[in-house]
Amino acid sequence: MKIHKNIVVAGIAFTTILFLMRNKISGAVWDLVSEQRIKRLHPRIQDKVRRFIHLADQQGIKLRVTDGIRTFKEQDDLYAQGRTKPGKIVTNAKAGESTHNYGLAIDVVPMINGKPNYKDDYIKIAQIGKSLGFTWGGDFTSINDKPHFHDTFGNSIADLQKKVISNQMRNGFVTV
């Protein structure tokens, strides 16, 4: 009986290792640029973003993180685009109103032959992101933001803002 239990345990461990290897659910992503951006995100979301990139890679989609955490100033500058500065409007969020301001959001683009392909329909990418619990910007009603994915871990923007005001912070990030 003891030998049988050891074989079963070894079999489960082997199956788990194969699953982890096949699904590449940990470790740095294929793209150094993306990995550097991921390292600046909220610690709670970093591995989830890596899983997203790995799962997309397994489906033949090479995703690059084009944007991650933004300062409030960077957010206000982006908000001004198409309003008081040249360019088209790309966000409706002012400083403090974007999940990027809290390190809980990314924008991604599929890379084809080393070049970004923003013309991709993002449907397959959205399915991968949503399967991991991300909210997809392509589902927004106020603006269509297909490259955007975020997870607030159940917090609203108002919750995140209150946490900043009440200093519910750890290592420079709001607690989520």
Rounded Cα–Cα distance for residues 152 and 3 (Å) = 47
Q: pLDDT tens digits for 27-70?
A: 899 999 999 999 999 999 999 999 999 999 999 999 999 999 99
* pLDDT for res 27: 87
Cα 109 from Cα 117, distance rounded (Å) = 6
- pLDDT value at 19 more than 60: no
pLDDT given at position 92: 94
Which residues 6+ apart lie within 8 Å of 114 measured at CB? none
- Report residue 173 as tokens: 């990030």
2: confidence class by pLDDT, cuts 50, 70, 90 = low
Paired tokens of 85: 């500065």
140-158 tens-digit pLDDT = 998 999 999 999 999 999 9
Instruction: List all residues 6 or more positions away from 115 whose beta carbon is below 8 Å from its beta carbon.
Output: none
In the chain, pLDDT over 70 holds for what percent of residues? 85
Closest CA to 149 of 139, 160, 135, 138: 135
Task: Domain 2-174: give its CATH architecture.
Answer: 2-Layer Sandwich (3.30)
For 149: left if phi > 0, alpha if psi spans -120 to 50, otherwise beta; the answer is: beta
Percent of the chain at pLDDT exceeding 90: 81
Q: What residue spans define the domains of the chain?
A: 2-174
Q: Give CA–CA dist 172/164, Å, rounded.
A: 10
